[in-house]
Amino acid sequence: MPRPTFPFRTTRRAAWALGACLAAALLAACGGGDSDGGAAPPPPTPPAPAVWPLPQVQGGQAALLAGSLHTDARTACGRVDAAQPLNSRFGYTTHAMLVGPDGAVYVTDTACTHAGAPAAPDAVRKIAPDGAVSTVATGVASHAPAPLASFVRAAGLALDGSGTLYVSDASAHGGMDRAPGYCPGETDFAAGPGWPGAGRSAGIWRVPAGGAPQALAGVARAGCQPPPDGTGPQASFCYPGAMAFDAQGQLNVMDFRHRGQSRLRLLDTASAAVRSGPSGAFGPSLVRDGSGRIYLTNASCGGNDAPGQLLAADDLSVLAAQVPNSTLVGIDRRGRIYSASAHARAPGALATIYRRDHAGADFVPVVTQVPELRALALGPDDALYLKAAHAVIRVTFD
């Protein structure tokens, strides 16, 4: 029988080469390889979830109070008031949040910035006890024509016993747009004549229930020009941020003044008289405890999302030697201190909320997996409220 013929001649060396190639191809197809560069590429990063899950709570539960947990800003972001809170929409950036004695939640709201989003000035939004979401005060855009009728950059909130809302305006002439924690310098501010006049400067605005914003203190004078104290338009502010009423009824305002140095300002809301309190390398936070005592943090400028001490404003005594986050901190009626993880507001971060139950105790995690935390506040029932991305979340503990 004749031997079959082939179109090529096989040698022993060629056979070995062919076998090696086949083996290499098989290894590659099956994901094999050595540690010297033959390993298969890592699997692709899984896509972000369409909806953020609610945070995990140790010994309690979290509930979506208002807004949206959708991760796509085109779906979640907006300024939409609604009787049904889950139909409402909020912006991403929130500088301040507070909870009133009736459980109403107030947040500052900056307009969305995603492609196609309409431009809008800052606003203060309210979530009523029945869940209805409304806009209670609207600012004006930078470079708005005179006369200045409202705040520009809502940086802090406070509420008095009559239901009057107070808003600190951290924007000076020229449309300064900075997040709390920024270290302003003298050149960031320019004078604006009038009361309120053609120019604008930082100051404090009063918003009566159901009324329009009214300039209360500052606003008319350049913020960093001494003397800072005075009454009404004669007072000046550099960069007012967090605010809180103390037990004596004074409105305490944290005011950045000279590159990393801050000054506590005390405002009598009845007379509009402003005087200065202690100054130092304080952070932008002001925290009130259940007795009305005010506390501040001593984080240096530029590190305001990092750990720092919690100090009593009246005598600078130390309440907590170190809170995990000197910007995101609060105290409930029982004296328990809450603070977020350091750098919790970094883009895409999943934050942890820590709690210290009493003096000498450690901070322990009580809430985890909080998406893109922007602000926190404590309610009169000791519930914890979180502004996470475009949503407001209520956390209760058993």
Return the HEC string of 178-203: CCCCCCCCHHHCCCCCCCCCCCCCCE
How confident is the model over 316-330, as a mean pLDDT?
Answer: 92
- Which CATH architecture fits 50-351? 6 Propeller (2.120)
Tens digits of per-residue pLDDT, 257-272?
A: 656 678 899 999 999 9
How confident is the model over 293-311, as a mean pLDDT?
Answer: 77
Tens digits of per-residue pLDDT, 344-375?
A: 888 889 999 999 998 888 999 999 999 999 99
- Characterise 254 by phi-psi region: left (phi > 0), alpha (psi -120 to 50), beta (else): beta
- Both tokens of residue 373? 């935390």
381 pLDDT higher than 50: yes
Please tell me which residue, 333 or 179, carries the higher pLDDT value. 333
Highest mean pLDDT among 144-148, 179-183, 189-193: 144-148
Domain boundaries along the sequence of the chain: 50-351
CB 117 within 8 A of CB 77: yes
Angstrom distance (rounded) from CA 389 to CA 298: 27
pLDDT of 307 reads 82
Ordered strands of the 239-245 beta sheet: 230-231, 273-280, 261-268, 251-258, 239-245
pTM of the model: 0.82
Tens digits of per-residue pLDDT, 227-257?
A: 689 999 889 888 899 999 999 999 999 997 6
How confident is the model over 328-334, as a mean pLDDT?
Answer: 95
Cα–Cα–Cα angle for 181, 284, 363, nearest 5°? 105
The band of 284, judged by pLDDT with boundaries at 50, 70 and 90, is confident
288: Cβ contacts below 8 Å, ≥ 6 apart = 244, 245, 246, 294, 295, 331
